[in-house]
Chain A
Amino acid sequence: MAIDTTLDLRSQVNDFSIKLANVNGTGSASANSLLMQAIFRMGIPVSGKNLFPSNIQGLPTWYEIRVNRTGFTARALDYDLMVAMNAQTYVQDIDDVRHGGYVMYDSSWPLDPDLHRDDVTFLGVPLAKMCLEHFKAPRERILMKNIAYAGAVVAALGIDVDLVSSLLAETFARNERLAQSNQLALRLGYDYAHENFDCPLPFRVEPLDANGSAILINGNEATALGCLYAGATVAGWYPITPATAVMDNFIRLCARYRREEVDPATPGAPTHQNNYMILQAEDEIAAIGMVLGASWSGARAFTSTSGPGISLMNELLGLAYYSEIPAVIIDVQRTGPSTGMPTRTQQSDILLCAYASHGDTKHILLFPANPGECFEFAVACFDLAEHFQTPVFLMSDLDIGMNDWVVPELQWDDTYVPDRGPVLHDEELREMAEFFRYSKVNDEHVASRTLPGSHEKGAYFIRGSGHDKFGHYTESPAPYQEVVDRLKLKHAASANHVPAPVVEHREGATIGVITLGSCDLAVREALGQLAEAGVPADFLRVRGFPFVASVREFIEAHDSCFVVEQNRDGQLRSLLALETGVASERMESILAYGGFPLSAKQVVDHVLTRLEN
């Protein structure tokens, strides 16, 4: 391989980014995640972002792998290597490679000379040709091309090939024939690259010990685990991208951990019982309705959905808020409005969820930044929902939910006791002269409830129509207002119970940067770069709504604040202004809402441009 010495040849050990361009439905996803997993196992911080279409087969799809020894694994937008496996998108893909970068392509066919770039090195691997020679079945010839390019990438990046080989062996442990084909394909690509290019390339991996006991997990699986550990027994749901996998995982986990062996009551009767019921509803309205019914009855219940589902649930979310029924709603946000882009990410349901339903409503929202927080916050959602007898939203998004992230090992405290909130049981009811639903209120404005089936004294009529503090129907102003005023106080009281904001101060900082959710890594990476450029900034990541006082204090303590979020209208900024009383002019939005995860570059460029002007 001849190398043009005038090129920008950075030596980047454990610090680079590659992009793989594929056609969806061809089996590339498993080859791509194999690469990412191998890098993770070598102890190097890594991320994999799947940028896929809302389609089953035939459209362009991309996968980005960012390797960063310091753990900043947000999108890089600066690709060192493009694995161009989709002729439909060659033009764009080759254009995306950085100056001095590399393009790997299938050289079974010659590349159009028009696509040539002088500042990029082309690595041709005759993948189709190799697979045609070595595999017989037509399907295998297509599938094995993926593992073959993975093999070439393994060689190019210096990934431990034995490690990749053992990962393949684990995956195909039960299918000897497939295992052999995969191992062969891996070697074909690997050997070809070694024989024809100077491997490894200047950017490459070297074993590191930065991952410790960290795990590789996606947010939807972590969320499902949280719901399992919180003791949820009833789930109502309707399939929707990108939230479906929350329930897929919950179903799988329940089958594994919630199936209890029992003595059959009669011969032939079941030998197990399911300590859960998962109901695939007719629509999202029914899904949230099921959650309300189950929560009213004292079970921990949840639904998982995305923006369009939240739109449908609005009616019953108001009922839950006003009649004070706990509910947990997992919102894996995607790009709106309307159907929008179902396979693209956004943080655009913030205002929708904060004030869901007609009339005066306010809800509790939790904003996880990664799968680790999805697990932790999912459990917190159930505690908050029952503690405050109200809907609580876990505001995940497609980037967190559907991509694999490196996060610290999930921890569980076996002394955890679920917070079931104030519930009156029969012994207490018997002692009471009379029970009224909304009259026995605690310091946090939450009224004790009873569950259906409890003592007759605890029977009452729960309703979404106007009611007084006794739970009786009313159309009178004062008793009506007394209840809705208490609901406002109750919501405010929850601020001290939602996860506290994460704050990081920098020496000499006069500006503040506020963000939330999956923007976390990109924003923290950006702040490091800004500090290097002489612009130190303080950092605050909001993790819950309602906001604690320290959020307002942070904004007021800075000359100016930037609010970074992934939607068009600056919804977090609006919510901050509305709910803290700070003028929105004190905050400037940095917005990325095209549907792909945020990159540090977008934040740095905005701040520097703004400060120059």
Chain B
Amino acid sequence: MPSITKPLIPLAPLPKNDLGLTIRDYEGAMSTLCAGCGHDSVTAAIVHAFWELSTPPHMIAKLSGIGCSSKTPTYFVRGAHGFNSAHGRMVPIATGANAANRELTYIGISGDGDSLSIGLGHLMHGIRRNVKMVYVIENNGVYGLTKGQMSASADIGSRPKKGEANLLAPIDPITLGLSLGATFLARSFSGDKEQLIPILKAAVAHNGFAIIDVISPCVTFNDHEGSTKSYKFMREHEVKEVQTDFVPVRAEIRAKIPVDGATEVTMHDGSVVRFRSVPEGYDPHDRLKVETYIRDRHDRGEIVTGLLYVDETARDIHALNETPANGLNKVPFDKLCPGGVELAEMQKAFR
């Protein structure tokens, strides 16, 4: 994807984060996506989230597959290490990278074609392995770069700009994730940065595979009457009952939570996710209730957004494999190679 360097125009002094960096330091190249693309809003939210978290840019690894969504890592955190891989294959590559170096913050950006068709098998196994990473699906129900084919997330009856309505049942990454034992499941809408930023921050803090399904309308191929992934449809059908705040580990927790029905989840790194305005009987730790709730709302034509499910007790890929705390790529060679004496010794059994 061609990239256009963003001009750094000196503006009034911008606020700085704990590292002394401004929001500009978390931006990337100029977007080459269509004007009004939902993905650009997601990019902006990611820029904000990392700036607010004060994550050192070089300690971020941003990965993607192929497609419009997979272009977006170019547009955020220019100081991060990036990997634009092959269509659908980002999860195994991120898994290997994370296996070798657990000290980085991994964020993968994918689309519905990348995640729910060609890369679905990999996505499911990434969930099972509980690789610690943020996994964003920029979900627009359509293949953009190849000009408008329906994807596996398109709802039955949803119409592409040209051609027939979709007749096949959609794959919902959230209910799929619930069935596979995913440990962090959120849905958001690209038009709602206020909701997306705390979810992204919570996902970064999560000790495992954090899926954020972001409905991100495609203005060129799927933002019309009859599309369930359009701005209009989302604005009319989004239900934001499960609202969350994120309190980073460094921030002082000022007030006790007076909100009715609020639940707190302490993340692995000590930060806190607060659920407020949770519907009665909703428990973000109970897979069955979460699924029932989402399906029930879906049947009523509503799309529930928010941090929907979280399990902070599950072990991530490194805990499961009992690997060293500072990354396998830092283990010195003399600890890896048993040496000549041992080789001679072990060969006594080969005679």
Contact = CB atoms under 8 A, between A and B. Distances in A.
A233 B101 contact: no
Given A297-B100, A319-B86, A290 B81 contact: no
B154 interface: no
A285 interface: yes
Interface in B86-100: 86, 89, 91-100
B92 A277 contact: no
B329 A233 contact: yes
A180 interface: no
Contacts of A460: 81-82
A459 B351 contact: no
Contact of A290 (B57, B99, B335): B99
A456 B125 contact: no
Contact of A451 (B129, B328, B329): B329
A13 interface: no
A209 B85 CA distance: 56
Nearest to B25: A456
A126 interface: no
Contact of A453 (B1, B103, B343): B103
A411 B347 CA distance: 10
A447 B79 CA distance: 20
B110 to A, nearest CB: 14
Interface stretch (B183-191, B221-229, B287-295, B319-327): B319-327
A283 B121 contact: yes
Contacts of B323: 273-277
B95 A233 contact: no
B328 A286 contact: no
B309 to A, nearest CB: 23
Contacts of A216: 350-351
A282 B2 contact: no
Contacts of B2: 473-475
Interface stretch (A134-142, A412-420, A526-534, A604-612): A412-420
A279 interface: yes
Interface in B294-351: 317-318, 321-325, 328-329, 331, 333, 335-340, 342-344, 347, 350-351
25 contacts: A216-B351, A231-B337, A233-B328, A273-B325, A275-B323, A275-B328, A277-B99, A277-B321, A277-B323, A282-B125, A286-B91, A286-B122, A289-B92, A293-B83, A293-B98, A298-B100, A298-B329, A412-B343, A450-B81, A453-B101, A454-B58, A455-B58, A456-B58, A461-B84, A465-B1
Closest 10 CB pairs of A and B: A293-B96, A289-B92, A299-B100, A290-B96, A293-B97, A297-B100, A452-B81, A215-B350, A461-B82, A294-B96
Given A299-B100, A452-B97, A459-B58, 13 more contacts: A228-B338, A257-B342, A277-B318, A282-B125, A289-B93, A290-B99, A294-B96, A299-B329, A412-B339, A454-B58, A462-B83, A463-B84, A474-B2
Interface of A: 40-41, 215-217, 225, 228-234, 236, 257-258, 260, 265, 270, 272-277, 279, 281-283, 285-299, 301, 315-316, 319, 409-414, 416-418, 450-456, 458-465, 472-475
Interface of B: 1-3, 57-59, 61, 73-74, 78-86, 89, 91-101, 103-104, 121-122, 124-125, 129, 317-318, 321-325, 328-329, 331, 333, 335-340, 342-344, 347, 350-351
